[in-house]
Amino acid sequence: MKIISDWFRRFFDDPQAVILTVVLVLGTSVVLVMGRDLAPVLASIVIAYLLEGVVQFLHRWMRLPRSLAVVVVFLLFLAFVLFVLLGLLPMASRQLTQLVQQLPSMIVKGQNLLLSLPALYPEFINEPQVLGVLDAIKSEMANWGQNVLSWSLAAGMGVITITIYLVLVPLLVFFFLKDKDLILDWLHGFLPQDHTLAQQVWREVDRQMGNYVRGKFLEILVVWIATFVAFFWMDLQFAMLLALMVGLSVIVPYIGAVVVTVPVALVAFFQWGWSSEFLWLLGVYLVVQGLDGNVLVPLLFSEVVDLHPIAIISAVLVFGGLWGFWGVFFAIPLATVVQSILKAWPRPVQVVIE
């Protein structure tokens, strides 16, 4: 017990550390316990946080009154939502339907390719091994079909949830932007007058989170548009759907790029086979991925704290398990938040006696 009490006094002797701990515990508890019920509110906070940078730009640099800047940004946000709902999603949905319709022919072609491997490479693979692989694939396809059926049966509730989001989220976003100062002043009223450490951590969190969210949104747009132009120019089937998958894959560092490569390569292979078009497409796709990782990411996230790949992957797994999509999306900034808290945490002064 003495070890625990000494550790507690060592790290919580400073009142500022206690205040920060209470704020963190309360905030995390609310998200964990009521996160599902408050999902529209949390999503609205994220979107408002994303749009706040544009509002600040119009207010500070374009000299627009904040109320007018909020209205302009909100109307642009609504226009973007309508574009996604009426333009992007229907096109992606049509291509997804076409892809599902072509799956049987792709499966037959892939089966014939696997059955031809024992004749081509008898020293490496034999027919029983191929048949075992085919049985495993058929079993996985059956399970996948059952999951799709279960998802389709629950689609009615999904439509209701989406409708609620489409009504509530834009309304909440508008009020979060319009009454930002009032909300922050109300929250400050619950804190002690001296909360210097909490303010220091919040400034660091605000800087890291804002840069990351807005940078990640721009990265998704740039990668999606560049990939779509490349796929469309090379006449790849399902170009819009695959480009959208590639754009969204940047949300999950490292893992997303590896996972999305599989459908891109499979569609290209079933369209062209082992041909020069297939190799060219893979080359162009790798160039886009290389430019994203080596040019776009350093340019957009130059101010984000550099984290080790192990820390990034661990953050994706931990926060994704806790909060799903939003946990994955905010894995990197949340990891930098943890790093900022650890750096700012008051430590006892070590007295050296000579």
**Where do the H-state alpha helices sit in the chain?**
2-12, 15-34, 39-60, 66-83, 89-120, 127-153, 155-178, 180-188, 196-233, 239-249, 255-272, 276-291, 297-300, 309-329, 331-344
Both tokens of 218, joined, read 């721009």
Radius of gyration of the chain (CA): 25
pLDDT digits (tens, 9 = 90+) for 40-96: 887 788 788 878 888 888 888 888 888 899 999 999 999 988 888 888 888 888 888
Q: Measured between alpha carbons, how far is 200 from 71 in angstroms, rounded to an integer?
A: 31
Show Cβ contacts of residue 271 under 8 Å, excluding neighbours closer than 6 positions: 236, 237, 277, 278
Is the pLDDT assigned to residue 351 strictly greater than 50? no
Q: How far, in Å, CA of 17 to CA of 196, rounded?
A: 10
Following DSSP, what letter does each residue of 198-229 receive, concatenated? Answer: HHHHHHHHHHHHHHHHHHHHHHHHHHHHHHHH
Q: Is 155 helix (H, G, I), strand (E, B) or coil?
A: helix
Contact, 266 vs 106, CB < 8 A? yes
- Rounded CA gap, 256 and 145, in Å? 23
Task: Give the pLDDT confidence score for residue 348 in this predicted structure.
Answer: 56
Q: Which two tokens stand for residue 156?
A: 């009615």
Task: Scan for tokens 């996160």, then name that residue.
Answer: 35
Distances 117 to 113, 121, 142, 274 between C-alpha atoms, Å: 7, 6, 24, 14
pLDDT at residue 227, as a whole number = 93
- The domain spans of the chain are 193-346
DSSP letter at 191 equals S
Surface-to-core class of residue 184, CB atoms within 10 Å of its CB (0-12 exposed, 13-18 middle, 19+ buried): exposed
For residue 133, the one-letter residue type is: V
pTM, entire model: 0.70
Confidence of residue 153 (pLDDT cuts 50, 70, 90): very low
Mean pLDDT comparison of 33-37, 183-187, 210-214, highest-scoring range: 183-187
Q: Is the pLDDT of residue 342 over 60?
A: yes
CA pair distance 298, 315, nearest whole angstrom: 20
Q: How far apart are CA 41 and CA 45, in angstroms?
A: 6
